[in-house]
Amino acid sequence: MKRLFALFLLCVFPLRAEFLISDGERFARMRLFLKDSLQVEKFHKDADYRIQNTVTVGLFLNGLVAPNISFDAFAEVNTDKASGVTYLPHNYEPYLGYPYGEIDNGRTWDFFRARTDWQATPYFKLSGGYDYISFGPARRNKLALRGGDFHWRSIQDTADYAWIKRPVPTPFAGFELNLDFVSYSQYAMQLKNWKNYTKYLHAHRLGFSISDNFSFGLTETIVYGSNPEERRSMEVVYILPFVPYLFAQSYGGDMENTGMSADFSWKLFKMFEVYGELFIDDLNTITSFFDDSWWGNKWATSIGIAIDTARIGMFNWDYNFEYTRIEPWVYTHHKGPGHSYSHFGNSLGSDLGPNSREIYNRLGLSYKDFLKLDLSVSAVAKDTAFGSRLEDIHTQEDPTDKKYLNSQSTLHYQEYGAGVLFKPFSVWSIGVKQYLIFGEYKGKRTEVFSGVVF
């Protein structure tokens, strides 16, 4: 009881410090913070409850070194201690998730991101660093590149699933070209799957602003790397600007994992948006979307509506509905993990993974910055058959057909979430989050946290 009381006091009294150095237009700002959270989790109906305490010490650093050169960095050190859990030694293989070190009855791990941007002209920007890249308008499930989006999912492979599946930034270099009605961006990134083998991701996007309230985008991605039986270096052809990956992949022997997506955003009113994305991993023909006789017809779609910052009385509220469908084998590749659409064991696209569906609703209410309430409910269907995991590899001996959400192997469940964030002062906030899962899969998670919210 004394230990839990001490943890509660730490939750209530976080620490924060800020330092600012400026010289004309140039400046550097450093912010330090301490955050504590207490989580109570039950991953499935037959598991015991687990209590975990996480203490985070963090640093934000950003600034302007010249009128057109900016930098932004973040680093944190975390210490986890949990009841009834023995943290196994991590051998630093990336496919097992982000690495950690063992301490007495717990673990410690660090996390960081950093980037530099050079706005060379009003229309052209160069960027590089170690950060997230995301494309598309989807709020819940981005299909091409989700960046740092992270959701606590119910389907768990291990008791540490929620921690392991935190997205990891990538080393990247790229540029953005923005004109009045058209934009183009391109990035080259390094991925990790095995410690001693290379893996790369290239992505570019062409966007069109048709009008003030309607935009349309086309994205191409390509993933390739080394497997134990082969070594590959970065292909220069994918670094060159304005080169279509669909045609350039033949240059490398047609061994890459390519993907294409089209998305749109239509803001009918100032606060109301309709959006959608179609991701094509592979298709036999342009008309074979619903042809289940060929496993290689791999595609996904996400459509949604969103209402942002609508005012009713004293409260601002927002709403999001999103429907996502992901066919079997999406994001996988027959040449194995060196070509799969993953980084540190995480999907670069939606974390639902292949052969899944989600219907998601979220409602948010807020009173200024003082109080925020977040409610969500989603209906999830996740198949567990072959072709439903990123690690699955289709071989020539496997059946050539597919089955989307086979009734004999699909789990159906509902996820309910509620969160309250209380911020009585600008430098301090405290909150509670609760997740409940019902259906063929059951679980729950409660988190009490406090710290500085930026």
- Extract the tokens encoding 124: 């052209």
Cβ within 8 Å of residue 118, ≥6 positions away: 68, 69, 125, 126, 127
Q: Find the mean pLDDT for residues 3-16.
A: 45
Among 407, 397, 452, smallest CA distance to 430 is for 452
pLDDT at position 7, please? 41
* Secondary-structure percent of the chain, ordered helix, strand, coil, rounded to 5: 5, 55, 40
- Extract the tokens encoding 61: 């650093």
The H-assigned helical ranges of 114-252 are: 161-164, 245-248
In three-state secondary structure terms, 222 is strand
Tell me what the pLDDT averaged over the chain comes to. 86
Confidence tier at 84 by pLDDT (50, 70, 90) = low
- Residue type (1 letter), 423: K
86 pLDDT higher than 80: no
pLDDT at position 405, please? 95
Among 321, 319, 348, smallest CA distance to 332 is for 348
Cβ within 8 Å of residue 429, ≥6 positions away: 421, 422, 423, 450, 451, 452, 453
DSSP state of 13: S
What region, left, alpha or beta, does residue 176 occupy, with left being phi > 0 and alpha being psi -120 to 50 degrees?
A: beta
- Extract the tokens encoding 106: 């717990």
Write the pLDDT tens digit of every residue in 16-51: 566 777 777 788 888 888 888 888 877 666 667 778
Q: Is the dihedral of CA 33, 34, 38, 44 positive or negative?
A: positive
- Residue type (1 letter), 42: K
pLDDT at position 16, please? 54
What region, left, alpha or beta, does residue 90 occupy, with left being phi > 0 and alpha being psi -120 to 50 degrees?
A: beta
What region, left, alpha or beta, does residue 345 occupy, with left being phi > 0 and alpha being psi -120 to 50 degrees?
A: left
Write the pLDDT tens digit of every residue in 299-330: 999 999 999 987 877 888 999 999 999 999 99
CB neighbours of residue 424 within 10 Å: 10
Q: How far apart are CA 179 and CA 124, in angstroms?
A: 9
Q: How far apart are CA 207 and CA 324, in angstroms?
A: 22
Q: Find the mean pLDDT for residues 191-208.
A: 93
Q: Which residues pair with 303 in a beta bridge?
A: 276, 323
Give me Rg for the CA atoms of the chain: 23
Task: Report the Cα 67 to chain-centroid distance in Å.
Answer: 32
- Would you call 274 exposed, middle or buried from its count of C-beta atoms within 10 A (0-12, 13-18, 19+)? middle
Confidence tier at 160 by pLDDT (50, 70, 90) = very low
| Contact between 238 and 245 (Cβ < 8 Å) | yes
Among 53, 59, 72, 68, smallest CA distance to 9 is for 53
Write the pLDDT tens digit of every residue in 338-379: 888 999 988 999 999 999 999 999 999 988 878 899 999 999
| Contact between 97 and 113 (Cβ < 8 Å) | no
pLDDT at position 88, please? 74
Q: Which residues pair with 435 in a beta bridge?
A: 417, 445
| Contact between 358 and 140 (Cβ < 8 Å) | yes
pLDDT at position 314, please? 81
User: How many CA atoms, within 13 angstroms, populate the side-chain half-sphere of residue 409?
Assistant: 13
Among 434, 428, 323, 427, smallest CA distance to 374 is for 434
- Residue carrying structure tokens 């469940």: 413
How much is the pTM?
Answer: 0.89
The DSSP result for 392-428, as a single string, is ----TTS-S---TT-TTTEEEEEEEEEEEEEEEETTE
Among 58, 59, 41, 61, smallest CA distance to 50 is for 41
Domains and CATH numbers, the chain: 2-451 (2.40.160.10)
Q: Which helix (H) or strand (E) holds 375?
A: strand 371-383
Among 89, 232, 154, 242, smallest CA distance to 445 is for 154
For 281-288, the CB contacts below 8 A with 24+ separation are 281/257, 281/329, 281/330, 281/331, 281/341, 282/258
Write the pLDDT tens digit of every residue in 104-143: 778 898 999 999 999 999 999 999 999 999 999 999 999 9
- Residue carrying structure tokens 């400046």: 27
